[in-house]
Each structure stands twice: as structure tokens, then as C-alpha cells.
Amino acid sequence: MAAHCVHKIWFYVIQAILLFEQGSVSSEEVRMRLVEEPINLGNQQWNAPAQPKSLFPTVQFSNFTGPPHLRRLVGRCFSLVENDYKYELCPFQNVTQHEQSLRWNPYSGILGIYEEWDIVNNTFQSMIFRDGDTCGQKNRQVKVQLKCGTKHELEHVGEPVTCEYAMVFRTPLVCHEHSLLVYPNLSEDQQAEWNELEGRLYREEVTQQGYKKMLHTIFESAGYVLNPKQRPLPAKQDHETHPDDFTSLDTCKDEYRKLNAEIETLKSQLESRQNDPAQWPFGMDGRVFFHSIPAK
């Protein structure tokens, strides 16, 4: 939408440049005066379709981890429109939000990038997506809870805390009572380590706090959760960002000011020609017009 407003300005610039190349105008032609109309972003958006906005994450999503049968969800996306927003969940990749609005610059952004599992009571309970778009002093994040369903569908989206979203995703892949258990998906060495840890807890050789910390370490080694000190890798940007891309109202305003200065320069050149009858290519009255339409 921002690019649309600059497009109108360029129309004026191009037409003005063409004036230098025009020949004399026939007396049977009707001249059209240059009309300088303000750019009205508020009204233009009702007639122009919303332009898709490219979204670029700041970090890479983590590799797939968890129950192998959930790998079937990788590469697929599921959407839900709720409260004038379209939410799109791409399991093990990202979650995005798109405002379904006719205003000139509807919000489209990344709510989170897949990072790890939330494991509760030996069960893969939710997928955690973090490092979404900035929201005040923090980044947006999402917790996606998996529940049994007859088909794959994003069922519900909520925002219990500002910029922290909760989703419910239903799928037949988790209907079996053991489908989300952690222990069966560990390697033999990791299972043995967990067995030993359970024995130490039973013999009261470790505290509950120590038990949870060491169990978290086992989950880290399996790739199910991240080390609290570990940060996701920066995203590989395969796009080139140009300083003149019209990604916001501010960039549009900057370009408008630049183009307005160019127009003023062209006006000065045209006025100098008007003051010199020998350079009048537009008619004997010396007025400046965009283009001509044959008279009917």
C-alpha cells in the first residue's frame, strides 16, 4: 500500500519529463491542467487489495525432535481465523498472525519460531515457539498444546498474557494413550540414565530440585528442550533488504519528500522555459499541461 502512494507521485514525475519531449499541441486538442492532489492513504486502501508482506524471522527454528510419528506434520501449515486475525501454525517451524483488516497497513507478523517441547509428567505436552516479533520490551511467544482429534486442525487461539499466545492443535496422531510419552522415544543410554536417576531419587540421594535439573539435562541431550543458556542460531537471511523498500508509512513519507523535491526541481525548469517563448513546446500561452485528449 505504501508503494501505491509513491507510484502516483512517479506518474506526475514521468508526465513532467515527457513535456520536454513533446512537440507542439494541435489547436483542436483540449489541454488538461496539472492537478496536485494530496495523497490520501486512508481512502485509497478501500479500493486497493492488501499487499502481501514478507516475514523474516530473526532466529532459525530448531530441528525436528519428539515422537517420530509427528514428523508427518513437518512442512504443513494450518490456519484459523478468529477475532479478525488469521493465525497460521506450521508445526516445528513457526506461527504467524495476519490481521484481516481493510486499514492501510494491517499487521502481519511472526508470533514465534519453534524452539523446544514443554514436557510435563513424562509427556510431550506442548510445542514452544519463541523469538517472535517484538512486543514492547519482549518478544512474542506461543505455546501449542496437542490434543486428540479426528483431523488435523488449529482449534483455538488465546492470549492469556499480553503477547503470549496459547493454541490448541488437534490431530489423530496423538490419540493413542502412549503417543506423547517421552521415555519410549529416548535412546537406550538415555533410558538407562533416567532409570538410575529414579533409583537415586527413591533412595533419597538427590532432592526433588536436583532430580528435575538432572532430568532436564537428559531431555537436553535428546534434543527435546534447550539449555537455558543456549540461544537459537540467527536466521539465514536469503533476501536482500533495500533501503528504499516501502515497508512502512515512515519509508513512504521519506520517499514522498524526495520525490516532491524532484518535482519542485522539474517545476523550476519548466517555469524557466515558460519565461522564454523560444522554448514553448506546449502552446502559445506557455501554460504547462500533463497530456492532451483529442476534442470531440
Domains and CATH numbers, the chain: 2-46+247-294 (no CATH), 68-184 (2.70.130.10)
Residue 124 DSSP one-character state: E
How many Cβ atoms from other residues are within 10 Å of residue 60's Cβ? 15
Q: Give the DSSP per-residue string, 269-284.
A: HHHHHHT-GGG--S-T
Which is it for strands 141-148 and 153-161: parallel, antiparallel or unpaired?
Answer: unpaired
Torsional class of 122: left (φ above 0), alpha (ψ -120 to 50), beta (otherwise): left
For the chain, 296 residues long, give each residue's pLDDT as a single digit of tens.
444 554 555 555 555 555 444 444 443 443 433 333 343 444 444 444 444 455 665 656 678 999 999 999 999 999 999 888 999 999 999 999 998 877 777 788 899 999 999 999 999 999 999 989 898 889 999 999 999 999 999 999 999 999 999 999 999 999 999 999 999 999 999 999 999 999 999 999 999 999 999 999 999 999 999 887 766 556 555 544 444 455 455 566 667 777 777 788 777 777 776 676 665 554 445 444 444 445 54
What distance lies between CA 174 and its chain's CA centroid?
30
Predicted confidence at residue 165, as pLDDT, reads 95
With b for 16 or more beta-carbon neighbours within 10 A and e for fewer, the 7-29 pattern comes to eebeebeeebeebeeeeebeeee
Q: What cell numbers appear for 253 in the block?
A: 513519507
